[in-house]
A and B are shown apart, each in its own frame.
Chain A
Amino acid sequence: MSLDTATAIRVNDFSVKLANVNGTGSASANSLLMQAIFRMGIPVSGKNLFPSNIQGLPTWYEIRVNKTGYTARALDYDLMVAMNAQTYADDIRDVNSGGYVLYDSSWPLDEELLRDDVTFLGVPLATMCIENFVAPRERILMKNIAYAGAIVALLGIDEDIVATLLSETFARNERLRESNQKALRLGLDYAHENFTCPLPFHVEPMTATSDSILIDGNTAAALGCLYAGATVAGWYPITPATAVMDNFTKLCATYRRETIPGDSPDDPPTVRNNYLIVQAEDEIAAIGIVLGASWSGARSFTSTSGPGISLMNELLGLAYYTEIPAVVIDVQRTGPSTGMPTRTQQADILLCAYASHGDTKHILLFPKDPAESFEFAVASFDLAEHFQTPVFMLMDLDIGMNDWVVPKLTWDEGYVADRGRVLHDEDLAGMREFFRYANADADHVTARTLPGSDETGAYFIRGSGHDQYGRYTEDADAYQEVVDRLKKKHASAAAYVPAPIVERRDGATIGVITLGGCDLAVREAIDLLAQQGVVADFMRVRGFPFAPAVRAFVEQHSRTFVVEQNRDGQLRSLISIETEVPIESMTSVLAYGGFPLSAHQVVDSIITKLGK
């Protein structure tokens, strides 16, 4: 970037990277900045790139501001906030030419680290905090708010909004509120007195986010489970899924707890919880609990990540074969094994599609962001009960743990839960006999009964071979009749899962397919490609089994690219296996190092593969 472009005014289009030390309290300062920009009405994203560590290792936070809404990871940074001496060298190297580095000038910067083409903005953060705060812990914590103050001035962020946010956060702690306001002021004043504020790239108010919220996917998914009427949950803690259940627990305590006053003033009130969440001994138990509860007719779910899915495999096959609903939320992280548990990936696609031994196939949903995580969580319960089978919602760490600007969530008051084909006592009353796996409907679903229903409806669920009457069998034809129906039942779900999103452009010569959280980066890439003369149609797959449109899209393009975040091109394989389009007709574009996808990665890869 030439100096011209560096000094040219750029409004609401830049990115900032903050380099911190894990466990020093930087997270709240960083999200404060992001939230303030959001409240100014500007599309923004905040990506936390954190280590698997509680304290001490390097951690980064990236803020991208983009008026068009392209807020996928930027990969080039206009401002580096270098707060970790350990990583100075890399961080300073990472800034765009013509960019800026903000650092703590309480200590001199090693001459060797200096670059001619970037501007260094020294703020004596440690010195300021030592002079202004007494408690050692406060001196460390307030450094974060002080650098946030300097950034507020440098980027032209609305000071009142930031002050209001601090007051809201510390509404119930006056002392902390005052310390924070004071630290903010220290940074702000220093920047105003010593630098030209704002920098050439900065923010100006917009109204693009007035109907939006700032929410992470784990919270949104938990809200979906609450709204879908889930009452029983089984789980085992694992990053990055833990917050799904933490949030579900909190939401239940607010929306599902009734306090019943005592009969007399001496009689204490009692609580009544319309939910039961079991922190299980492992993920096998977690899915077992879900199966037991779903068998009994409650809406039940578990949330986990890849290692948990691996453990659940045996019981997922049991659920598939015995036709028990189950909702599994998989917040994917980087595998295999423990892999990089605080990094993102989309590498559980095939694991979930065919989870368990034997011939199995499951229903998968791929939300792109927290808003769809809410919506698809609700859909998961409807699908699981309609098709009496496990349903996986495949989120990832980026969607689950980062805050996203998404349209405000809405709820249709006319929502009627699809509880599937269940025969209750009144239905059984007229029946002479009930056979669990006979009399399939158009979707190849048979009616079930719930434990406790009349004796006519009593049957014996078994994972061993059974015929359509639910009886034990080792007969080849009777066995095949049931598993063949299961295959057809799975295929029927294609019409029920969220349809793929297809966007066509005039003169398109290639097709680009993607899924989940890659959405924004791929859309941006398609714009960038068009600027380079490569016109592409876009398709985002949202569910499995695939709708006919998925096959059609591949067949309509002489060349398609499948963009996903795993090493082996799992979506590409799944499309080929399931639609029978030749795998060579699709080219993989992959990023699987654990960080959220950037449009540049997609553009570079496609351009290279096209041989341009």
Chain B
Amino acid sequence: MPSITKPLIPLAPLPKNDLGLTIRDYEGAMSTLCAGCGHDSITAAIVHAFWELSTPPHTIAKLSGIGCSSKTPTYFVRGAHGFNSAHGRMAAIATGAYAANRELTYIGISGDGDSLSIGIGHLAHAIRRNVKMVYVIENNGVYGLTKGQLSASADIGSRPKKGDANVIAPIDPILLGLAMGATFLARSFSGDKEQLIPILKAAVAHNGLALIDVISPCVTFNDHEGSTKSYRFMREHEVKEVVTDFVPLRREIQATIPTDGTRVVPMHDGSIVRFRSVPTDYDPRNRESVESYIRDHQSRGEIVTGLLYVDESSQTLHEMGHTPLEGLNRIPVSELCPGAAALDALQEDFR
């Protein structure tokens, strides 16, 4: 876990990104999560993604709700402003922040309890409004912070550490996203940085809400036999058929023209997402094909990971609202106030 182990003297000089920053510049405080917690691996992937993208740290705003997962924004990108808000309310607060200032890169970190129970309404509506942000659900099937109760993402038959197996059908955030009109949906596994990093990078480039469901085992309460969100279960049941590459705008824009079994989706900012070796009937821009693909695999007990759906044609909240390209928070009050003469004139209507 790079956010925990921080050697004081690096053995070799660390590589620098386009801004001349090293990976250390994208780290945050020491993690206080349990050793081996999946959430820490996601933190590490986020650190990598932003470093590789050369995103200036201060242009990132990181938000979260409440939970072990929601603690993690402290552990990445120290130089970014952060907001650890209230349980389930991150999406609403992020909506307001984005409304006020569309110029920043927003990343929201949440848990399955935070997003699929108490905050499901806000998530659903943030998706509908297409708030431009990366929305990560660190999904462990339990409420880690309150000590292991089953969450709404727990599969039927899945066993908590104590008590009976779950009998209520789970909520799949990807299927929820499809129903809500999401414009970017991905699933990954905390243990698979190779896959997660390009997905995160594509999510940052996406013009809208990019929802990433990351299966992230809770080693303390949900990593045992009978759990479907454990490291072992994921390693045995993950299907990585929807393999993706992300080609950022500034690099190798002349990506090789795809061969058979490949789909290319250009992103709003000119970057490219390449879907490799997907089945021929899989179209990452067609809701129905995505849904049937996921459901087919689900019925076989498989968890499909990868970037599953992208739609770069939808408008964001700001585009729908016809706001200026610079943040509304930049406009001085003196410019926004219509002034005394206008007040005089408009009061003619109140005579």
Which residues of A approach B to under 8 Å, CB–CB?
A: 39, 213-215, 219, 223, 226-232, 234, 255-256, 270-276, 278, 280-282, 284-300, 314-315, 318, 408-413, 415, 417, 419, 449-455, 457-464, 472
Contact = CB atoms under 8 A, between A and B. Distances in A.
**Max chain A CB contacts within 10 Å: which of B81, B332, B337?**
B81
Nearest to B59: A452
B163 interface: no
A234 B343 contact: no
B13 interface: no
B157 to A, nearest CB: 32
B125 A281 contact: yes
A275 B338 CA distance: 14
Given A282-B121, A451-B101, A458-B79, A300 B96 contact: yes
Contacts of A294: 96, 100
- Shortest Cβ-Cβ A-B pairs, 5 listed: A292-B96, A288-B92, A229-B333, A298-B100, A289-B96
B337 A227 contact: yes
Interface stretch (B225-233, B243-251, B323-331): B323-331
Given A272-B323, A274-B328, A451 B61 contact: yes
B95 A460 contact: no
B351 A231 contact: no
B65 to A, nearest CB: 10
B176 interface: no
Contacts of B327: 296, 298, 452
Given A289-B99, A300-B100, A315-B89, A270 B338 contact: no
7 contacts: A286-B92, A293-B97, A315-B85, A315-B86, A452-B59, A452-B81, A460-B82
B80 interface: yes
B207 to A, nearest CB: 17
A455 B59 CA distance: 9
A229 B101 contact: no
Contact of B329 (A281, A415, A450, A457): A450
Contact of B350 (A215, A234, A454): A215
A412 B332 CA distance: 17
Contact of B95 (A39, A213, A278, A411): A278
Nearest to B58: A455
A300 to B, nearest CB: 7
B350 A214 contact: yes
A458 B57 contact: yes
A289 B86 CA distance: 13
Contact of B336 (A231, A282, A460): A231
Contacts of A453: 58, 81
Contact of A293 (B59, B99, B343): B99
A232 B101 CA distance: 10
Contacts of B84: 460-464
Interface stretch (B33-41, B181-189, B196-204, B314-322): B314-322
Contacts of A292: 63, 83, 92-100
Nearest to B78: A458
B103 interface: yes
B329 A454 contact: no
A417 B335 CA distance: 11
A449 B338 CA distance: 28
Contact of A285 (B81, B95, B104): B95
B86 to A, nearest CB: 5
A284 B90 CA distance: 11
B68 to A, nearest CB: 13
A213 B336 contact: no
B89 A231 contact: no
B124 interface: yes
B337 A229 contact: yes
A67 B165 CA distance: 77
Contacts of B333: 228-229, 299, 417, 419
Contact of A288 (B82, B96, B339): B96
A232 B96 contact: yes
B322 A273 contact: yes
B93 A288 contact: yes
Interface in B1-34: none
B73 interface: yes
B343 A232 contact: no
B201 to A, nearest CB: 21
Given A275-B328, A293-B99, A449 B81 contact: yes
B122 interface: yes
Given A318-B85, A413-B340, 11 more contacts: A227-B338, A231-B329, A232-B100, A234-B92, A273-B322, A294-B96, A300-B96, A314-B89, A451-B104, A455-B57, A462-B84
B257 interface: no
A440 to B, nearest CB: 21
Contacts of B339: 411, 413
Given A273-B321, A451-B61, A463-B84, A293 B96 contact: yes
B340 to A, nearest CB: 4
Contacts of A463: 66, 84-86
B64 to A, nearest CB: 10
B318 to A, nearest CB: 7
B274 interface: no
A314 B82 contact: no
B97 A280 contact: no
A231 B332 CA distance: 10
Given A255-B338, A318-B85, A458-B79, A274 B74 contact: no
A285 B59 contact: no
A232 B96 CA distance: 8
B228 to A, nearest CB: 30
